[in-house]
Amino acid sequence: MRLQGLNANILSLGGIAIAVGAMVDAAVVMIENAHKHLEHWERDHPGEELKGAERWRVITDAAAEVGPALFLSLLIITFSFLPIFTLEGQEGRLFSPLAFTKTYAMAAARSSRSRSSRC
């Protein structure tokens, strides 16, 4: 942001809030689906303990179920801000910090998540 000359004004902070809200919403959906899958496994295997590779398989299946939909929903949010980048004049100066910070925050969160998933 510093290289672009963007400062932390209300609209750029609003862009970060939008990005954080979208990412938290996606994380909640992912966690709820994993919890649902774990409950179904416990119901289907009474008295057994789910651990190790089997637990990871259940959670991976849950993530694979909702992952593509969550990715596309976040991609749509990102693309919905593209027209703001074409604004010129006062409108561009007003709204471009919001669009840039939202895009940067979502990209940084996505890249850090993909880096941590490789570990």
Domain that holds residue 34: 10-117
- The average pLDDT across 77-98 equals 86
Residue-level pLDDT at 118: 46
Residue 113 has pLDDT above 80, yes or no: no
The letter for the amino acid at 23 is: M
Overall number of domains in the chain: 1
Q: Say what the pTM is.
A: 0.74
Residue 95 falls within a domain, yes or no? Answer: yes
Instruction: Say yes or no to pLDDT of 78 above 90.
Output: no
Report, as an integer, the average pLDDT of 85-112.
Answer: 82
Report yes or no on 3 lying in a domain. Answer: no
Contacts of 78 (CB under 8 A, 6+ apart): 102, 103, 106
For residues 71 and 61, what is the distance between their CA atoms, to the nearest angstrom?
16
66 token code pair: 């909702």
97, 12 in Cβ contact below 8 A? yes
Is the predicted pLDDT of residue 39 greater than 90, yes or no?
yes
pLDDT at residue number 34: 95
As given in the structure block, the two tokens for residue 51 are 């651990």
% of the chain surpassing 70 pLDDT: 92
